[in-house]
């Protein structure tokens, strides 16, 4: 029973070639075995030796031969063929690995893609066409499977670049005992129905555009922040440190009329100030010497709204009489008396007694 327990790998390449391999070093250490096969179903089978051996470190680890029928019998013997080490009978049609799809075409209709290929000559019902695709934003392949030999998928974004690949699969367990698929057809790149050499050509321009836009937005944002801070700083500066007037505007005539000659400018300015003072000079006060009796008489003649303020002391000229000073000033009618001096204020007249 141990002969049937030996593990082998059996592949029927599109029903054209058979490949059978085994673990030579683990199963038959130190011995180079021989292989024979037959597709003959009669009682007197004709065994054929392996035409092409597969080697593993100079040990026979497999055999490659032509497929000649649906029923296969194999036998592994020792080096001289005197002892059979392993034997097995099988259906070669249950180990078929299909070939790659031929003449693959892509048909685009807006966001829908239909992929088709030529139909194989045999066992079309056992085959399925598998389509896989992904965009530059997808990490894994998206898969879609349909009957041979056309498959369609919708929802493609015309702005994205997609990678496509297709292969044929055998149905399990109705047609195969092993899940064999063909090798992938060459990968193609499409964008909005246009065939490209690769999706890298599409990624780089978009990446550069995104980088430029991000830089511009960052610069504009920084400028806006700078303008806001500048306005706030100017307001703070005006409130904390008021601006100092420019003396150039105060002394415009010094530079424009006198060419910076300060002495000439100050002389002219002093003369103008004197003239201005004279124009607005208050009325001259009149000082008269009167006797106390006259003063008392004038005081008695004042109206009810008048008051007397008296000042004590003598006049500056040391006259024994008190001095009376009359000044025209816009004041209310009041008389004040302080230390012997008297001030008469009647409407716009000041009188010092």
Report the alpha-carbon distance of residue 324 to residue 342 in Å, rounded: 8
> What's the angle, vertex CA 287, arms to CA 285 and CA 290, rounded to 5?
145
Q: Who contacts 207 (Cβ-Cβ below 8 Å, separation ≥6)?
A: none
Between 22 and 314, where is the model more confident? 22
Contact 321, 348 (CB under 8 A): no
Fold equal for 8-97 and 105-196: yes
Closest CA to 9 of 75, 70, 62, 65: 62
Q: What is the reported pTM?
A: 0.54
Percentage of the residues of the chain whose pLDDT score is greater than 90: 30
Question: Where do the domains of the chain lie?
Answer: 8-97, 105-196
Q: What's the whole-number average pLDDT of the chain? A: 76
Between 115 and 325, where is the model more confident? 115
Residue 347, token pair as written in the block: 């409407």
pLDDT digits (tens, 9 = 90+) for 46-77: 999 999 999 988 889 999 999 999 999 999 99
Per-residue pLDDT, averaged over 222-229, amounts to 89
The architecture of the domain spanning 105-196 is: Sandwich (2.60)
First to last CA, the chain: 156
Residues in the chain: 353
pLDDT digits (tens, 9 = 90+) for 171-209: 998 899 999 999 999 999 998 888 888 887 554 445 577
pLDDT digits (tens, 9 = 90+) for 245-296: 655 556 666 666 767 677 777 777 665 554 444 444 455 554 454 555 555 5
Alpha helices in the chain, H assignment, sequence order:
24-27, 200-240, 247-250, 252-256, 262-279, 292-300
Closest CA to 149 of 93, 192, 109, 98: 98
On the question of pLDDT at 222 being above 70, the answer is yes
Contact 102, 115 (CB under 8 A): no
Per-residue pLDDT, averaged over 80-92, amounts to 87
Class of domain 8-97: mainly beta
Positions of E strands within 67-158: 71-77, 84-91, 96-97, 105-109, 112-116, 127-135, 142-147, 150-154
Contact 31, 78 (CB under 8 A): yes
């Amino acid at each position: 029973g141990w002969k049937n327990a030996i593990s082998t790998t059996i592949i029927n390449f599109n029903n054209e070639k058979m490949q059978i391999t085994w673990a030579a070093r683990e199963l038959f250490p130190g011995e180079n075995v021989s292989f024979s096969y037959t597709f003959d179903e009669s009682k007197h089978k004709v065994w054929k030796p392996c035409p092409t051996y597969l080697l593993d470190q100079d040990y026979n680890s497999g055999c490659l031969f032509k497929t000649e029928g649906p029923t296969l019998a194999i036998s592994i013997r020792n080096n001289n063929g005197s002892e059979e080490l392993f034997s097995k009978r099988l259906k070669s049609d249950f180990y078929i690995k299909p070939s790659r799809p031929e003449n693959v075409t892509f048909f685009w209709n807006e966001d829908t893609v239909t992929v088709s290929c030529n139909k194989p000559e045999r066992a079309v019902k056992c085959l399925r066409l598998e389509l896989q695709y992904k965009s530059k934003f997808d990490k894994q392949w998206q898969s879609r499977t349909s009957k041979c030999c056309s498959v369609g998928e919708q929802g493609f974004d015309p702005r994205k670049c997609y990678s496509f690949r297709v292969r044929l699969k055998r149905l399990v367990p109705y047609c195969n005992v092993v899940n064999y698929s063909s090798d992938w057809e060459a990968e193609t790149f499409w964008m909005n129905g246009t065939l490209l050499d690769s999706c890298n050509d599409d990624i780089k321009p978009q990446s550069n555009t995104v980088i430029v836009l991000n830089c511009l937005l960052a610069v504009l944002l920084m400028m806006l922040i700078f303008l806001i801070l500048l306005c706030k700083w100017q307001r703070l500066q005006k409130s904390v440190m008021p601006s100092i007037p420019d003396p150039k505007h105060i002394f415009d005539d010094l530079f424009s009329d006198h060419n910076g000659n300060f002495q000439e400018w100050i002389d002219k300015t002093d003369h103008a100030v004197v003239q201005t003072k004279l124009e607005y000079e208050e009325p001259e006060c009149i000082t008269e010497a009167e006797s106390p009796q006259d003063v008392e008489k004038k005081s008695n003649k004042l109206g009810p709204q008048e008051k007397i303020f008296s000042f004590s002391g003598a006049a500056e000229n040391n006259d024994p009489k008190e001095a009376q000073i009359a000044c025209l000033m816009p004041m209310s009618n009041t008389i004040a008396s302080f230390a012997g001096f008297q001030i008469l204020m009647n409407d716009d007249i000041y009188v010092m007694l």
